Amino acid sequence: MAAAKTRTSTFSRNLSTAAPSHGPGLKCGPNGTVFLSSGIPDLDKILGGGFPLGSLVMVMEDAEAPHHMLLLRNFMAQGLVLGQHLLYSSPARDPRGFLGTLPSPAASKDDKSRERDPDQEKGLRIAWQYKKYFGENQLDGQRDGKHEYSNEFDLRKPLERHFINGPRIDCVSIQDCPDLSTLRDRCATFLSQFPRNDGSISCAGRIAIQSFCAPQRAYSNMEWDMLSFIRSLKSMVRSSNSVAIITFPPSLLSPSFCKRWQHMADTLLSVKAIQDEDKELAQLLTGYQDMVGFLNVHKVARINTQVPVILEATTFSIKLQKRRYLVLECLNQAPVDGSSGTSYGTSGGCSSSSKTGNLDF
> What is the DSSP annotation of 147-194?
--SS--EEEEEEPPHHHHTSTTEEEEEGGG-SSHHHHHHHHHHHHTTS
pTM: 0.77
Burial profile 249-287: b = 16 or more Cβ within 10 angstroms, e = fewer = bbebbeeebbebbeebbbbbbbbbbbeeeeeeeeeebbe
What is the structure's pLDDT at 340?
A: 42
* Angle between helices 180-191 and 223-238 in degrees, nearest 10: 10
Are the C-beta atoms of residues 211 and 91 closer than 8 Å to each other?
yes
CA distance 14 to 230: 41
Low-confidence ranges of the chain (pLDDT < 70): 1-21, 108-147, 198, 216-220, 277, 279, 334-361
The number of residues in the chain equals: 361
User: Under CATH, what is the fold of the domain 31-106+148-321?
Assistant: Rossmann fold (3.40.50)
What is the structure's pLDDT at 31?
A: 85
CA distance 43 to 37: 9
Are the C-beta atoms of residues 171 and 88 closer than 8 Å to each other?
yes
Of 327, 273, 293, which is closest to residue 74 (Cα–Cα)? 327
Neighbours of 124 (CB within 10 A): 10
CA distance 105 to 103: 7
The one-letter code for the residue type at 165 is: N
> What is the DSSP annotation of 73-108?
HHHHHHHHHTT-EEEEEESSS-GGGGGGGPEEEPPP
Sign of torsion, CA 45 51 53 55? positive
Helix (H, G, I), strand (E, B) or coil at 68: helix
Helix (H, G, I), strand (E, B) or coil at 323: coil
Of 82, 66, 80, 76, which is closest to residue 26 (Cα–Cα)? 82
